[in-house]
Structure formats: C-alpha cells, structure tokens
Amino acid sequence: MTKKPVVIGVAGGTGSGKTTVANEIYRNFIDKSILMIEQDAYYKDQSHKTMEERVQTNYDHPLAFDNDLLLNHLEKLLAYESINKPQYDYARHTRAEEFTIVEPKDVIILEGILILEDKRLRDLMDIKLFVDTDADIRIIRRLVRDIEERGRTLDSVITQYTSIVRPMHLQFIEPTKRYADVIIPEGGQNRVAIDLMVTKIRTILEEKEIL
C-alpha cells in the first residue's frame, strides 16, 4: 500500500472552537508527525485593493478563499512534498509578504469555517468534524477575540456580524454540517469527543500502516 497522510477536517462557525479542537488533537500527536493548515491562511490576496475596499469584503463567502491554492497545497502534502503556506494578516485584511515552509507529515489537520463547503476538499478528508456551538456563545467569543487579537473595534465586530457573518453562516456554513462524520458540541472542552477522535486517527494510521 502506498503511504498517504491522514487528513482530518475541522469545520464549524466562527468562534465555535475549531482552533481549540484542532490544537487539542494536535497536542495528542506532538510526538508523531502532524501538521495544521488553517483555511484562513488561504483568504485571497487583497494587496492590490485599498483598505476601504478590503473592509467591505465578505470574508464569510466561499469565494473569499483561494481554494484552488489550498487544494494544490493539500495534494502536495499528500504526496509528501513541502509547501509555502501563506500567512494571513487580519488587521490588514490581506496576505503577509512572508510564507511559512510546511514540511509534509503523516497527519494533516485542516481547519476552517468553509472547508466542508468545497467537495474537492471534502473528498481529500478521512474524517470530517463539525464543531457545533450556540450562536450566542460564538459571538461573545468572537467579540473578545477580534478586539484583543485581530485589531477590530466593538462597532466593527457587531456591524460585520449582523450584516455578513450571521447570514453567511446560515446560508453556507451551517448546511455543511450534513457532510460531517462527527458533530462535536462545545468544542475543545469536550474531552470525550477529543479522545474518541485521537483513538480513531490512531486506528486509521495503523490501517494505513503508518504507525
């Protein structure tokens, strides 16, 4: 059997706990070969646009992402080739000049709001997870995070959430739950779900004769 990495997709709404879940899984394999790819790193480059134009972008629509590049990078990692992963700057709403060189690993965690929306990405995943957290909790988490870490103001988070994030979530993100193999309520605090996932990933690695 040809050796091929295991791909775990972690989807869910903004603030649902995707990154926390992905980090928890990652932590359990730190001794093994594991890497993380954030779909956010593949937001389309907007360096040619003015700041005023960038602020108007709908970042919760499938077309905001360069999924062709993401797909190309995943295919390389699946062939055990390294990639130059883009870096994203939330405050400037565009890609940074620098790249991160990512070396191939046996387990790939792909995390992002719309990773289950694109069939090409879904088809590469061995396990598809959807982190399901109530909208009121998600907006509270997002408010705190975006102001502390992503350079946004209270006003901009509220306006963006009501006019774009919420409607896009209902139209594009929530419906992808149907593609998930496992729905994880409450994200990173859900120890049972994390442990089950880690066990399942180990089983797949054994089946693929990677472990």
Ligand X SMILES: Nc1ccn([C@@H]2O[C@H](COP(=O)(O)O)[C@@H](O)[C@H]2O)c(=O)n1
- The amino acid occupying position 5 is P
Can you tell me the distance from the alpha carbon of 41 to that of 11, in angstroms, rounded to the nearest whole number? 15
Query: Quick one: what does residue 86 bind among ligand ADP, ligand X, none, with the CB cut-off 5 to 8 Å set by partner type?
Result: none
**Residue 19, annotated ligand binder?**
yes
- Min dist. Cβ of residue 58 to ligand X (A): 8
Q: How many CA atoms lie within 13 A of 161 on its CB side?
A: 19
**Residue 12, annotated ligand binder?**
yes
Q: List the interface residues with ligand ADP, window 150-209 (CB under 6 A).
A: 186-189
16 binds ligand ADP (CB under 6 A): yes
* Options 11-19, 96-104, 121-129, 192-200: segment touching ligand X (CB under 6 A): 11-19
The smaller minimum CB distance to ligand X, of residues 37 and 165, is found at 165
**Which residues fall within 8 angstroms of residue 108, CB to CB, at 6 or more apart?**
5, 6, 7, 8, 34, 35, 36, 37, 74, 77, 78
Residue owning tokens 């994390």: 194
Cα–Cα nearest to 80, from 106, 101, 41, 110: 106
Residues forming the site for ligand X (CB under 6 A): 14-15, 18, 40, 43, 59-60, 90, 93, 113, 165
Residues at the interface with ligand ADP (CB under 6 A):
12, 14-20, 141, 145, 186-189
